[in-house]
Structure 1
Amino acid sequence: MTMTSTHGPILVTGATGYIASWVIKNLLEQGHTVHATVRNLNKKNSFAHLEKIASESAGSLQLFQANLLEPHSFDQAMQGCEIVLHMASPFVVTNYKDAIKDIIEPAILGTENVLNSVNNTESVKRVVVTSSIASTYGDAIDIKQTAHNEFDESHWNTTSSETHQPYPYSKVMAERKAWDMQKAQTRWDLVCINPALVLGPSLTPNTQSGSVEVLQQFANGMTLAGVPPMWNGIVDVRDVADAHLQAAFNPKAEGRYIISGGTLSLLEMGKILRQNFGNKFPFPRNQLPKATFKLFGPFVGFSKSFVELNMGYPIYFNATKSQQELSIHYRNIENSLVEHFQQLLDDGVVKKYIP
């Protein structure tokens, strides 16, 4: 691919998502025409923030209704597009009834349906898929198999399954499906963005993300007794959005990109929040030993295998490729954490703790 810009519309699937909203904002402010898909055009509250951004931007926004599980659902929205940013994906980590039906099939079939539409749309030249660092590893213990004690783009999650870590399994299987479909043709190329745990301000209080769940647990007393010895790669949502735009327009972008601004333990996250918000919340003060979770983990949703494979192993990610090829200059992840928690307070998602 040689183009660095496009005069045609750009398709963004899953437009109301946390990262997708920032991507659309940036595209609109750069003057692009954006075709954005949502699950239900009647739920205007879910995309009101996008319409407001569009009204104040140089670009234009056109909304389409599409369903990941319906073949040809994205055909209309894709017409005339040279670039497709596939960002729609089911987000269900807990409280699911059937991992295959609720998590895995929607992720894989959704990717397949979108890329079938790409195959049927002659104008498309590049596809950017939002994947996850969960595609690079399944359990924290996998870090011990790496040569330099860090995951990079050469690593793939080979340890998750339908019954063990089904959400990471859905991410890696969806990404593998995307690469298989890309290799089966020659017209369009593919770039995958693999972000760490995403923090930072949301453009709407309606956003669901894994980071919101973590911060809610910090604020509601669930972690008051202590947190498990676990670490997260973390990245600011605005850096993830920048990476998507670079992946879309940079002719040299290719392959996969880990997007991570650094690693923090759950205890470090708690300390940072206490430093900034004081003792108004029951932020964790202690890191409980792994042995404690082996005993009591099953009573709070941690299986024995999960405890054994994921607690006590600091994990790190090599984001050099994104810095060199996508020109990403990562924001301070501690600031991202503080900004995100402050917004959850402002939006009423998190309330002052009353023991």
Structure 2
Amino acid sequence: MDILKPEILQIGKRMYRLNSYRNYSQIANQKHENDLKSYVEEDLYSEDEFEEREITFKNGQFEYSFHIPSLFYSHIIGTKGTTKKRIESQTNTRIIVPKLGTQGDITVLGKSRSNVNSACRKIDLVVLASRSKIPSTHFVNVPFNNTAIMESYKRFRNEVITHQNLTGLDPNFFIQPEKLHLTLTVLSLIDDNDRLMASQILNECEKTFIRQILKKNDGEIYLHLKGLEIMNDDPSSVEVLYGVVKSEGLQEIADGILDLFCKNNLTQRKTDNVKLHVTLINSKFSQKDDDNTQRRITFDAKDILQKYIDYDFGIQKLHEIHLSQRFSTGSDGFYEATSILKLY
């Protein structure tokens, strides 16, 4: 990692730099918390910049309780309690974590509201960094599986497969037509509370900003899937080929959704804006070695890009936004939905 461009974690409205030579986000891969010594910047924000938390005052001290999936208890505690003790020492608070194997809220106690807020933010950092290393379970997306676009995609797929000047392209690399979609953000949702919270956030998006964006666009937003794109500089060695989405209003909706999920600490921002593209061909997860490790597989996309660079897959209206389960298939061939936001 470039030390001049350290990894950034977004917690609420604030951005935190992480130590580049002891990457804090690695903690989620450690079974016994041996790497929970990473440095996190001290809290330099004034009390009026704190997130709104319903902190109560009881028995002469401030108190705040909140749900954290039990999977993260050991991360918050740390090896021999070091992480919990460090946060308590830095914020002058006491943190009560439910016993391993039990469920319940984490409680933070302190002599001032600002200390409790500071401890909660540090816990948020631990959980978010840990969550980011857990394989994603869900994703927020816009389905691109209307009949016209699927038929156009099938024609594109058949033409490319029958083309004779392709190197390394396996027909199995093509996405199933029924599963075409535009990903807005990926999530690692650990328990029922996480899934409920994600569903509520998606519904909140509609109330807080999507309605206004639809109104600005005369109540309808159209999505045009046209053109091809790759993310690397060498078209002869490609893992993923994308279809480009052009739309008035969708970028604002996509970025707003990502912002709200970041604000609620269910994901972190990695790019300035959501990339508006639909995966068409993906070789990344097509094959594995004998030891079940992933091999990097590429194909030559030069001829595809030259012949189909402006291929028009069609236009559809933005009807729904889904919170979907990864690696699932519903009765209609699309992914199983945990929640669906219907816009019409």
Instruction: Note whether the superposition's TM-score is higher than 0.5.
Output: no
TM-score (norm 2): 0.22
Q: Which has the higher strand share?
A: 2
TM-score (norm 1): 0.22
Q: Which has the higher helix share?
A: 1
Larger radius of gyration: 2
